[in-house]
Structure 1
Amino acid sequence: MIKKLTLVAAITLATTPAFAKEEAEVMHWWTSGGESAAIKVLADSFEAQGGTWKDSAVAGGSNARSAAINRMIGGSPTTAALFNTSQQYHEMIAEDMLNNIDEVAKANNWESILPQPTLNAIKVNGHFYAAPVNIHMPGWFWYSKEAFAKAGIEKEPTTVDELFSALDKLKAAGYIPLALGGQNWQENLMFATVLSNVGGKQLYLDALGKRDSETLNSAEFRKVVDTFLKLKPYVDTGSPGRNWNDTTSLVINDKAGIQIMGDWAKGEFTQANKIPGQDYGCFPGLGDDSLYIVGGDVFVFPKTDDKEQISVQNKLVESMLSPETQVKFNNLKGSVPVRTDIDVSSMDICAQKGAAILKVAERQVPDGSMLMEEYLYGSLKDAVTEVWNAQEMTTDKAVSIFAQALRD
């Protein structure tokens, strides 16, 4: 009898499906070494809460965003999809394609613990539609300590004149002075960095926010454009089309002196076992009062009425923004935790610099993509690329191109 019961039990166990964990399919474009290590932290955090993470990686930000939208339109949406902290998903909100995550946002007091530029990007019409996982500042300066030492550069430049002096010394010492990947988003990133460091806060906000003729034809904006054009001779001939992480490798391997790139570049240094302050240096702008451009990444949650899927979406948000996950993830991603209420003392010196600035509201400005609609931001990037890659370009012509591109 015992044997019969045991057999029946065995058959029952074999034919009864195991308890299905809550599955979340997450679409993203984080495929480089540092990015892959970072996304695994988010996956592990979710699975530690009892869920199952289904990874859907698509190389390239625009490709991944398009794939996510196509899945929604086709009726088979993912649970979550990666977007930048911007207006990229605002049209989707208007079309009622996303679920809000108000329940989690309010329970965790996001209004008090997130930077204002981030809040402005994720809260629309009184509802929270995106879960921010980090703060990326796109205008960091990364430099090879070895290259600086051999070129005789004794300190980090704090003014535009000091920056050009450092670039001249690097060039004379045989290094690529300024490493740039020649893709339009990288060129645009460098332009935004020049705008914030040369133009200052009001010009930055007016040029990208108001976009009025008076601002774009002012002497101050002309100085920004002129400075941007003067950087071109310091970029190597291998720049066109080069990926950002391949460009970072030039600094990692001490072939280039400086790269202006978002703090995700730090993830590549980490993967290469390079130590900040020892092998490479970082500074978020020229001088102690330089502006901090607040960008970042968010996950949005496609519309569903399925209560189980809504529960999974909320669980994803909770796990992504837990203090422990925030520190681990951002350590690998190279970014700064989006929460300003957590201890960052275990993070590297670059992250600690960024986290400290996030407590100073006057130094913060939103990324350009938060200040204009996606089509207009695309026009700006096209204008930057046209100006940068022209065989001959005067400041007058460049100003005219920018003014035309930024006209609504």
Structure 2
Amino acid sequence: MIKPLTLAAAIAVASTGAWAKQEAEVIHWWTSGGESAAIKVLADSYEADGGTWKDSAVAGGSNARSAAINRMIGGSPTTAALFNTSQQYHEMVAEGMLNNIDAVAAANNWEEILPRPTLDAIKVDGHYYAAPVNIHMPGWFWYSKEAFEKAGIDNEPNTPEELFATLDKLKEAGFIPLALGGQNWQENLLFATVLSNVGGKQLYLDALGKRDSETINSEEFKQVVDTFLKLKPYVDTGSPGRNWNDTTSLVINDKAGIQVMGDWAKGEFTQANKKPGQDYGCFPGLGDDSLYIVGGDVFVFPKTDDKQQVAAQQKLVQSMLKPETQIEFNNLKGSVPVRTDIDVSSMDICAQKGAEILKVAERQVPDGSMLMEEYIYGSLKDAVTEVWNSRDMTTAKAVKIFENALRD
């Protein structure tokens, strides 16, 4: 059941001037066609609530984040800035560079309606510093229905053994079994997916959270690494350097069988007029109890004592998380609403699957970027790339590389 603002909370928000017409400058990196359409939904929602949205788009995530930070340091901060649901902004919290949004979070019962991994990422030292707008799960399996049919595959794989059997059949039928773009972040995404599906929840959390030698040298982690390495022969020679969307096109055009990619891949299928369940299939992991990696996007709010800007910040948060805005925005973004208390029956079957899993806390794990500082996460991605692209890589050698990379 959707819980509206209580009268007391509404009065508190109104007393700050939050419902007065306020200009909000928002810096972000959503510049592609689908992303631009999605950010427009947020802008329209804010303006429908009486505000004025000033759009500041900067191409590239790292460029946009750097621009936002430079604006803060220079004394001319934007009203809000886009970041990923991670530890990217935790140092900014420690430096006192952000306003908290506790009032809106409390008024809308975030502790009850948001997934725990998301709450853990946006709440620092008891205060909320970021407004999440979606859940992106990076480890979805996307597959060509035509390729599966021609390869004689009747069911989606439910275990690692069944996955390899499926890849073998696709290879025998002349398809690229596993479509992978050979870029640092895509290789890391594949490794995280193997870790979650083969290692299980505790190993996933220990390997990326504790990062201790005992965990990394355990037989369970070695099995994860071994499985990851065994996937290499199923990837085509055109993989190195290939963009993710070009890789998705291989599945769309029935040249490849499976791609492991985040749910943003749906946008590519939609643009190609492909329908889920008819032209392509999607499943979030191996088996009905597979883990769901929780990632996503958030907006943070630069520190300011300007009452007008504080009011605009609170109004932005309120408008972004309205149920109708969440549905429309996430339909275009390819993600799942961050709120677990709204009706998603109007969304596609992939999004419905994800939304249903988000109601099961035991199946949720945070994205690796939420479990470690950025420099360690960068070392992990470099290690994955080294392991994946080195010739004659052994499991033992790979484990040592991971152990060195994950050391604080």
Query: TM-score band (shorter)?
Result: over 0.9
Q: How much identity, in percent, do the aligned residues show?
A: 88
User: Residue 332 of structure 2 aligns with which residue?
Assistant: 332
Q: Distance in 1 between matches of 2:169 and 2:319?
A: 47
Q: Which runs of 4+ in 1 moved over 3 A?
A: none
Counterpart residue identity of residue 149, structure 2: A
Match for 1:372: what amino acid? M
Which residue of the partner structure matches residue 25 of structure 2? 25
Distance in 2 (CA, whole Å) between partners of 1:242 and 1:21 is 46
TM-score under structure 1 length normalisation: 0.92
How far apart, CA to CA, are the structure 2 residues paired with 1:235 and 1:112? 42
The CA deviation string for residues 231-290 of structure 1, in whole angstroms up to 9 with x for no partner, is 112112222222222222222222221111111111222232221101110000000010
Deviations 1:189-236 (A, max 9, x none): 110000000001111111111111111001110010011111112112
Backbone CA RMSD of aligned residues: 1.4
Give the secondary-structure state (helix, strand or coil) at the position aligned to 1:381. helix
Deviation by residue 1:297-334 (Cα, 9 ceiling, x = unmatched): 10111111111111111111111100000011111111
TM-score normalised to structure 2 length: 0.92
The amino acid of 1:95's aligned partner reads: E
User: In the TM superposition, what is the alpha-carbon distance from 1:179 to its structure 2 partner?
Assistant: 1.4
**Aligned equivalents of 2:120 and 2:282: distance in 1?**
28
Matched, 1:102 2:114: no
Give 3-state SS (helix, strand or coil) of 2:305's partner.
Answer: coil
Report the counterpart of residue 239 of structure 2 in structure 1. Answer: 239
| Cα distance between partner residues in 1 of 2:275 and 2:55 | 30
Larger Rg: 1 or 2? 1
Counterpart amino acid of residue 268 in structure 2: E
Q: Which residue of 2 aligns with 1:384?
A: 384
What is the aligned partner in structure 2 of residue 120 from structure 1? Answer: 120
Change (3 A) 1:363 1:63: same
Report the Cα distance in structure 1 between the residues aligned to 2:112 and 2:287, rounded to whole angstroms.
Answer: 29
Q: How does 1:180-329 map to 2 (within 5 A)?
A: 180-329=180-329
Call closer, same or farther: CA 1:35–1:246 in 2, change over 3 Å.
farther
Q: Is the 8 A contact 1:34 1:271 kept in 2?
A: no
- Deviation digits for residues 310-360 of structure 1 (CA, Å, limit 9, x no counterpart): 111111111110000001111111111111111111111111111111111
1:84 positional shift: 0.9
Over residues 130-167 of structure 1, what are the superposed CA-to-partner deviations in whole Å (9 max), with x where a residue is unaligned? 00001111111011111111121111111111111111
For 2:248, the aligned partner's letter is T
Which 10-residue stretch deviates more, 336-345 or 48-57? 48-57
Which range moved further: 251-260 or 139-148? 251-260
Q: 1:139·1:190 contact (CA, 8 Å) conserved in 2?
A: yes
Is the contact made by 1:376 and 1:406 (CA closer than 8 Å) also made in structure 2?
yes
Return the alpha-carbon distance in structure 2 between the equivalents of residues 75 and 172 of structure 1.
Answer: 61
Closer, same or farther in 2 for the Cα pair 1:246/1:74, shift >3 Å?
farther
Contact 1:104 1:318 in 2 (8 A): yes
Cα distance, 1:49 vs structure 2: 1.7
* Rounded Cα–Cα distance in structure 2 between residues aligned with 1:324 and 1:397: 51
How far has the Cα of 1:23 moved from its partner?
2.4
Other-structure match for 1:46: 46
Partner of residue 145, structure 1: 145
* Residue 21 of structure 1: how far off its partner (Å): 5.6
The amino acid across from 2:300 in the alignment is V
Can you give the 5+ residue segments of structure 2 that lack an aligned partner in the other structure?
Answer: 1-19
Instruction: Write the letter of the residue equivalent to 2:224.
Output: V
Q: Distance between the aligned counterparts of 1:252 and 1:202, measured in 2?
A: 35
| In 2: Cα distance, 1:318 partner to 1:355 partner | 21
Distance 1:160 1:32 in 2: 35
Amino acid at match of 1:50: G
**Given that residues 24 and 54 in structure 1 are in contact (C-alpha distance below 8 angstroms), is that contact kept between their aligned partners in structure 2?**
yes
Letter in 2 for 1:209: G
Question: Given that residues 197 and 285 in structure 1 are in contact (C-alpha distance below 8 angstroms), is that contact kept between their aligned partners in structure 2?
Answer: yes
Aligned partners of 1:177 and 1:256 also within 8 Å:
yes
Looking at structure 1, the residues matched to 358 and 343 of structure 2 have their Cα atoms a distance apart, in angstroms, of 13
The answer to whether the 8 A contact 1:84-1:297 is kept is yes
**CA deviation after TM superposition for structure 1 residue 75, in Å:** 2.1
